[in-house]
Structure 1
């Protein structure tokens, strides 16, 4: 709650690097949902700096931490390596703490995890990476539109908490101790349970097979989506995933249509707003 109540400094935009709008730092380069396939294609259309081992294109600076870097970029790819209910890790929380806009992919719902439902961009609203890149490039060039995603902090001095934040977010974070206990417990379960089951159940072992070689050993949560959410990228455009895209909510770009030269699909109906964009 402390982070979302900090007003944005007047020179906030000046703290963001001009060299690239998007940052990604990841160590798991073989995520079960295939996120790296989408990100690799996204990199063809928008500048993404990757300091981690996955799709690395920048050396990690010796004088900066991961959080230092996150604070310098406008957007961070806070993409989970699997899509499971309530599976939201430090990627999102660190992004918010460092005043960057998260680009998300994870659980079906982020209710209770986001300050507002318009404080993040959802990757699965853009099956075609070029469409997401187009929107990021638009926001990168339009400070007014970009800052709408940080309105919960931009308006911290002018509006009350209940007028700025979603009620479910307030409920989730008002008792910090309870939230931390729940989050820590879930993390332990997801990390230890598969290992323990594998090591102690002979039916799950085969001769000459190691724990590391079992591809699905960590996928034990029955709320998780099937593997390879982003594998369809390998088939090339036009992109047709086997899941239903989330509705795009480009409230900062009224009357914009994804793939505007084509017939507008029903799941991309634009949101009508009174926001003035310069």
Structure 2
């Protein structure tokens, strides 16, 4: 808990592919207008070698980790969530709840598609940064669950080839859950979102909100003029969103 309370930075994102099928980069760019996201790797200005000691800053400094995949597909979850997300004392942010929620502990992540706009998500992230007790709730799952790595890096030399020994152990565990894929071709070829579909849908909500905001803004300019408040504001930009509700209720 002491480590969680000492965090000061917003979100970190380690990324090397700058143009992806999911268009995740567009969403993060929009999010950065409302919330601090530090980008490490070839797509950003900051550097941290993979596996380097600098990754410890995720535990010590950052509240959130951007775990957006380059494609949004059923059963497609990579090290972005497993290693940086659950391997560190940090809260991962994923793009789509439905992709991960059946595979990870409850309330262990934040999903971008739970929010109408990037600004709405940013507001919630700021809230968690200010309220450490609410932020700490995202770590309560660790009381009942344990992270077991299958990458071999946490085991002896004989176990390192792609975690085969760990997979063998899981296959022999009893009781063993049974899962079948009725149509493999459909599962393989039709389980992904169309390129950028989710991002465009999420950002489309943001655009809709902005259009509403602008229309309300123009109406308020007329309202202030009619009510004799036109001398209150020197420039149109000085009208804030909060002022709209104040004037409408006056």
1-structure distance, mates of 2:168, 2:98 = 23
Alignment of 1:1-278 (within 5 A): 10-16=1-7, 18=8, 20-54=9-43, 56-60=44-48, 64-65=52-53, 67-72=55-60, 73-94=62-83, 95-106=85-96, 108-116=98-106, 118-153=107-142, 156=143, 164=144, 176-177=166-167, 221-228=189-196, 229-231=198-200, 233=203, 237-238=207-208
Q: In 2 relative to 1, CA 235–121 (structure 1 residues): closer, same or farther, beyond 3 Å?
A: closer
CA distance in 1, matches of 2:50, 2:67: 23
Task: Work out whether residues 46 and 133 of structure 1, in 8 Å CA contact, stay in contact via their aligned partners in 2.
Answer: yes
Task: Say if 1:60 and 1:142 are closer, same or farther in 2 by CA, change over 3 A.
Answer: same
CA RMSD, 1 decimal: 3.6
Quick one: structure 1 residues 142 and 14, their matched pair in 2 at CA, closer, same or farther if it must change by over 3 Å? Answer: closer
- Shift of residue 85 of structure 1? 0.7
- Aligned position for 1:198: none
Cα distance in structure 1, aligned partners of 2:169 and 2:208: 42
* d(CA) in 1 for partners of 2:54, 2:190: 32
2:66/2:92 contact within 8 Å kept: yes
Give the unaligned 5+ runs of structure 2: 149-164, 172-187, 211-240, 243-250
* Distance across 2 between alignment mates of 1:134 and 1:149: 17
Contact 2:58 2:88 in 1 (8 A): yes
Structure 2-normalised TM-score? 0.60
- Name the CA distance, whole Å, in 1 between partners of 2:51 and 2:70: 28
- C-alpha deviations, 1:11-30, integer Å up to 9, x for none? 222453x2x21111111111
The verdict on how the C-alpha distance between 1:100 and 1:108 changes in structure 2, with shifts beyond 3 A counting, is same
Determine the C-alpha separation between the residues in 1 that align with 2:74 and 2:97.
Answer: 5
TM norm structure 1: 0.54
Is the alpha carbon distance of 1:235 and 1:99 closer, same or farther for their aligned partners in structure 2, counting shifts above 3 Å?
closer
Deviation at 1:62, TM superposition (A): 11
The structure-2 alpha-carbon separation of the partners of 1:131 and 1:179, relative to structure 1 and needing over 3 Å to count, comes to farther
Q: Secondary structure at the match of 1:27?
A: coil
Compare the two structures and name the one with the higher helix fraction.
2
Say if 2:108 and 2:138, in contact at 8 Å, map to a contact too: yes
**Within 2, Cα distance between the matches of 1:177 and 1:62?**
25
Number of equivalences = 177
Contact 1:25 1:50 in 2 (8 A): yes
Matched residues in 1 for 2:39 and 2:208: separation?
Answer: 26
Alpha-carbon distance in structure 2 between the residues aligned to 1:11 and 1:78: 24
